Structure 1
Amino acid sequence: MKLDLEGKLALVTGGDSGIGRETARFLLDEGAAVALSDITGDALADAAEGLSAHGRCMPFTADLSKADGVTRLKGEIEAAMGAPDIVVHCAGETGPTGDFLEIDDAGWEEVIAVDLMSAVRVARAFIPGMREKGWGRLVLIASENAVQPYPEETPYNVAKAGIITLGKSLSKAYGEDGVLVNVVSPAFVATPMTDKMMEKRAAEEGVDKEAAIEGFLAEKRPGIEVGRRGRPEEVAAVIAFLCSQRASFVVGANWRVDGGSVMSV
């Protein structure tokens, strides 16, 4: 299926690895140019260099948990490449985990800043440019945790539930202007974030990472029917479709890419 993205400019945040990097590759292969953003300079530069084999890709370092970081990112992208037609907001973190009663305000504030407020600020910064063009795509990344919360990840659960509501609200506000907003909710994808989780579990249990993954699937994610972690490209393919001309009647949706993990209909 041809996605008709030639001539479009996409911003992909959290783009130095995992789902963000694979999404950038899909969009480049479909003819879009990509502004790639992340907080880590060296890894981001390496990712942009590798992706440049697929099309025009420029790196932009930014801390999106701070308002001035988003403002600066917008200015740098517009000066170098123009105003984005597409924004895919992949930046995020798990944050503090464990007993709810032992997670302090600072832990909560960190997760809300990184996982929720960064999305708010990115949307506020880039939606106006899309409205001016009368065409735009904004894809926010939530998680299975938003609708199937795990008690040891309460701050993350809450922030990602906020992402789904944010996406729905924005879709109602700006759909008539041609700006289509949707959310994608992955589950247990092979990314640096879940690698760290599994390495920690492996160390605690005295096993290797693969054994830790198998144990986690059996104990914590029995609903994943395919019996494995997802691959970043499997999520990126869905995101790329939502960014395309082909998804012109998809608005305000939450697309689960979770291997069946979420138990509800």
Structure 2
Amino acid sequence: MHIDLTGKTALVTASSAGIGFAIAKGLAAAGAHVVVNGRSQGSVDKALAALRAELPAASLQGAVADLSDAAGTDALIAAVPAADILVNNAGIFELKPFFEIDDADWERYFQTNVMSGVRLSRHYLKGMLDRGWGRIVFISSESALNIPADMIHYGFSKTAQLAVARGLAKLATGSGVTVNSVLPGPTLSEGVKAMLKETAEKEGKSIEQAATEFVRSQRASSIIQRPATVDEVANMVVYVCSMQASATTGAALRVDGGVLDTI
């Protein structure tokens, strides 16, 4: 299958590292003009340099914006007025006992993980509908369906993304615009590496070993019995953004290594 996104502009939020960076790389390799977003100029510049080193012919631009509030979203929209592909990847996560999650935490997760995608979709979807083609992808999580007891606020926000994406897909009925969610499972991103670094050092293990042990102990239903790579998640997203995925919409597509025990 040859995926060609030449002539399409793709905005990938929080794409200076991790899953977002891998998605930006995949879309750029497919010919899209990719907007790399991060919260600081330094992180965006570093990501752009890395992408250009690997893909010298790629069409890229940077856009600095913190999407944790409406002002940051407005700044991103001002920098990038139109897009054919929107990947709502911005998100935060942490392990935290329920009784320690205060109102400010709940609001922070809702604003960053849910409202950033709502605000951007509200803007970019209009243009997609007018043009008769577009792709919106929400990067949710298997935690949207398998709510983790140690980060309920995160699971809640990821479930909310599924609801928004499904509703937007229905809104775009018959238009040529698709809206989907992609659900990664445990993935060896920079964020997960940082979360496991202390444990790995304390136990004298590599981060990869610690990540595999985490999957086997905390996500024991995993069929692959290891974390996914960021590129494995990005592959699904690039396909969903392609012309070939025109009949896939309103879906929650799993890249969870089989963690969710459902048929």
Which range, TM-score by smaller chain? over 0.9
* 1:207–1:105 Cα change, 3 Å: farther
Q: Deviations over 1:67-116 (max 9, x none)?
A: 121122112123xxxx2100111111104x33212211111111111111
Secondary structure at 1:152's aligned position in 2? coil
CA distance in 2, matches of 1:251, 1:85: 16
The letter of the residue matching 2:28 is L
Q: How does 1:236-247 map onto structure 2 within 5 Å?
A: 236-247=234-245
* 1:211–1:2 Cα change, 3 Å: closer
Residue 34 of structure 1 corresponds to 34
Q: How does 1:1-265 map onto structure 2 within 5 Å?
A: 1-52=1-52, 53-78=56-81, 83-95=82-94, 97-202=95-200, 206-208=203-205, 209-265=207-263
CA distance in 2, matches of 1:134, 1:42: 36
Q: Is the 8 A contact 1:175 1:251 kept in 2?
A: no
Q: Is the 8 A contact 2:184 2:254 kept in 1?
A: yes
Secondary structure at 1:239's aligned position in 2? helix
Count of equivalent residues: 259
Secondary structure at 1:107's aligned position in 2? helix
* 1:26–1:54 Cα change, 3 Å: farther
Greater alpha carbon shift after TM alignment, 207-216 vs 126-135: 207-216
Secondary structure at 1:88's aligned position in 2? strand
Q: Is the 8 A contact 1:70 1:125 kept in 2?
A: no
CA distance in 2, matches of 1:118, 1:200: 30
CA distance in 2, matches of 1:100, 1:133: 45
Could you tell me how far 1:65 is from its partner in structure 2? Answer: 1.5
Could you tell me how far 1:229 is from its partner in structure 2? Answer: 1.2
Cα RMSD over matched residues?
1.5
Q: Deviations over 1:111-145 (max 9, x none)?
A: 11111111111111211111121110000000010
CA distance in 2, matches of 1:28, 1:152: 36
* 1:264–1:201 Cα change, 3 Å: farther
**TM-score, normalised relative to structure 2:** 0.94
Q: Is the 8 A contact 1:36 1:59 kept in 2?
A: yes
CA distance in 2, matches of 1:70, 1:161: 21
Could you tell me how far 1:228 is from its partner in structure 2? Answer: 1.4
Could you tell me how far 1:57 is from its partner in structure 2? Answer: 0.7
* 1:177–1:153 Cα change, 3 Å: same
Q: Is the 8 A contact 1:63 1:70 kept in 2?
A: yes
Could you tell me how far 1:218 is from its partner in structure 2? Answer: 2.2
Secondary structure at 1:151's aligned position in 2? coil
Secondary structure at 2:106's aligned position in 1? helix
Structure 1 unmatched ranges of 5 or more: none
The letter of the residue matching 1:186 is P
Could you tell me how far 1:211 is from its partner in structure 2? Answer: 4.3
Q: Is the 8 A contact 2:188 2:211 kept in 1?
A: no
* Moved segments of 4+, more than 6 Å: none
Q: Is the 8 A contact 1:38 1:91 kept in 2?
A: no
